[in-house]
Every structure is written in C-alpha cells, then in structure tokens.
Amino acid sequence: MKKICWIAFATISLFIASCSDETVDPTVDARDKFTGDWICKETISGTPSSFTITISKVGSSDSLKISNFSNYGTTLDQTHAEISGNSIVIPYQEITQTNIVVQGSGIYSSSGGEKINMNYTTDGQTATAVCTK
C-alpha cells in the first residue's frame, strides 16, 4: 500500500511541476513583443521630450533595429539592439549616419500595458525612457 501511495504522490508531483514550467513555443518569434511603434518619454539632464520610435526585426533571431532612437531621425539613423527574454540591450555603437555613440539596456513589461523601460547613454549624456504602445 505504501508503494502505491508513493507512486501516486510522485505522479501527482511530476504533473504539478510540469504544469508550472513555462513552455517555449518554437513557432513564436521572441522579438514580436518588442516590434512596432512605441511612444517614448525620454529624459536627458532633467529635460523631458516625447517622440515615436519604430522597432523592427532584422538579422538573427535576437536582433532588432530601432528607428528614431533618442529622436535622432527615422530615415537613415538606426540603432542595433539585441534581446534575451524580456531584456533588450543596445550595444556600444555609433548610430548609422550621425556617428553619435549610444549604448544601454531596457526591460519589456506587459503589466499595466506594454512598455519598455530603458536606461542608456547617448552622445555622452545619460538618458532614461519609458516607451509605451
């Protein structure tokens, strides 16, 4: 009887554990939650501004491009970014045409509406931004 109880307990425990594990759907692109148009409220040196950025997929499965990053323009200036889970990293780089150096990171959240909270340096200045869809 103890053996049957132990087997039943082990089976139920495994079932509960398997239900709590997050499964990854290989047909879903992890970048999808980041892509689209975002309204950014940026603050640099205490001065706030608002503008729209567009995040698009590019290259490999973790790569993105950001148009109009830090309100630098949408046609030629694009910033490269990489994602992992809910994190976005803007590696050290010079933006395409303006040669402005940027780098930083951020976190995506869907709690209370989709948003990305970012901290970065741009043209030697520290900036924070909250971007919402």
For the chain, which domains are there?
36-132 (2.40.128.420)
pLDDT score, position 52:
96
pTM for this predicted structure: 0.77
pLDDT in tens, the chain (133 residues): 444 434 444 444 444 444 434 455 667 899 999 999 999 999 999 999 999 999 999 998 899 999 999 998 876 678 999 999 999 999 999 987 778 999 999 999 999 999 999 999 999 999 999 999 9
> Residue 89's closest CA among 109, 70, 100, 103?
103
Where are the extended beta strands (E) located within 1-133?
A: 36-44, 47-57, 63-67, 78-84, 87-94, 101-109, 115-122, 125-132
> Residue 101's closest CA among 82, 129, 120?
120
Question: Do 133 and 32 contact (CB within 8 A), yes or no?
Answer: no
Sign of the alpha-carbon torsion through 118, 122, 124, 125 = negative
pLDDT score, position 89:
98
pLDDT score, position 17:
40
pLDDT score, position 14:
40
